[in-house]
Amino acid sequence: MKGRTALEYYVLDVFSNKSYKGNPLSVVFTDGNLDIETYKDIAKEFGYSETSFVYYSKDQKALNVRSFTPIGFEIDGAGHNLLGAVCGALLKEMPIFEEQDEHNRFVIMKNSPIPITVSFDPNTLDPIVQMHQKSAEIKREIPTYKIAVALGLKIEDLDSNDFVPTIVKTEVAHTMVPIKNSQLLNECVPDNKLLIEISKEYQSEGFYCFTISSNEDHIVETRFFNPIIGINEDPATGTAAGPLIGFLTQKKFTKSDHEYKILQGVKLKQASMIEVMNRANDILVGGSSVITMRGELYL
């Protein structure tokens, strides 16, 4: 590709240690910021729910991350877009922490520092990244019937005895939606137009539908819909997993300082496992990622 700038990229499957499971994310390595339209064009070309662009800033002594959806929406918050970007940089052996205090590691996302903790799997030596989200802030409730209609369910299909649909925010405000069982969760067919209307009316983004699990491996099974930013369904959503564990803890269903796992992506055949922990001053959301593809793109 004579005369054209080449950028290396990885495709990682995030919140998974197996290729072709988890949430696929393209991570593009740059030498600095690109034009906004270039970010949008590349994200549209990849077509994944998000594409992350990373470079190391000597001035900020940190990895810089910017993430875009295929419709050109720039993402805030610590989700799979950030987790995969950090794992990609570490797997590429970029020295992203050498200028930082080992007890105060962070990355820059849209000019805001986000604290992270990194450990390594004792067997594979692959990085395991935990992102520190803010404590959960319970916002307003949404009438059960509105959500039920938008998901193609009956009011009684939402488990209103213990929980009601509630907007919860750590980095991003999402609606936590209780569903009675796994079968109903995986059979529901959302009406994106209605979900977008609810998002606009209640000033929140996605809908994290969850059902309590009897499986010892994970405490809840979830599905996530966020059509207002161009994501019809996402196989793993860190920005929603944090609010959910905060919500469950405030409702006394789960305990603080205890690690739980959230299963997501089953319906899409991209099973993902998200590790979460509610603590006194923050919420940890973490997991691992695996490189599935690598290549070059041209500007």
- With cut-offs at 50, 70 and 90, classify the pLDDT of residue 2: confident
- With cut-offs at 50, 70 and 90, classify the pLDDT of residue 126: confident
Domain 137-281 sits in CATH at 3.10.310.10
- With cut-offs at 50, 70 and 90, classify the pLDDT of residue 165: very high
- With cut-offs at 50, 70 and 90, classify the pLDDT of residue 121: confident
- With cut-offs at 50, 70 and 90, classify the pLDDT of residue 125: confident
Q: Is 204 helix (H, G, I), strand (E, B) or coil?
A: coil
Phi-psi sector, 88: left (phi>0), alpha (psi -120 to 50), beta: alpha
Per domain, the residue ranges of the chain are 6-131+287-298, 137-281
Region 157-177 average pLDDT: 92
Q: What is the pLDDT of residues 76-103, one digit of tens each?
A: 878 999 999 999 999 999 999 999 998 8
29 in Cβ contact with 13 (< 8 Å): no
Instruction: Output phi, psi for 21, to 5 deg.
Output: -120, -175
Q: Which of 134-143, 157-166, 202-211 has the lowest mean pLDDT?
A: 157-166
pLDDT on residue 36? 97
pLDDT on residue 122? 87
pLDDT at 161 over 80: no
pLDDT at 238 over 70: yes
pLDDT on residue 1? 64
Region 209-213 average pLDDT: 96
Is there a shared CATH topology between the 6-131+287-298 domain and the 137-281 domain? yes
Q: Is 109 helix (H, G, I), strand (E, B) or coil?
A: strand
Mean pLDDT, rounded, of the chain: 95
Q: How many CB atoms lie within 10 A of CB 181?
A: 15
Looking at 3.40.50.2300, 3.10.310.10, 3.90.1580.10, 2.40.50.220, the CATH number of the domain 6-131+287-298 comes to 3.10.310.10
What whole-number percentage of the chain has pLDDT above 70?
A: 100
Q: Which amino acid is at 11?
A: V
163 in Cβ contact with 191 (< 8 Å): no
- With cut-offs at 50, 70 and 90, classify the pLDDT of residue 58: very high
Q: What is the pLDDT of residues 183-196, one digit of tens each?
A: 999 999 999 999 99
pLDDT at 136 over 70: yes
Rounded distance, CA 201 to CA 178, Å? 20
The two structure tokens encoding residue 131:
């992102």
Rounded distance, CA 261 to CA 5, Å? 42
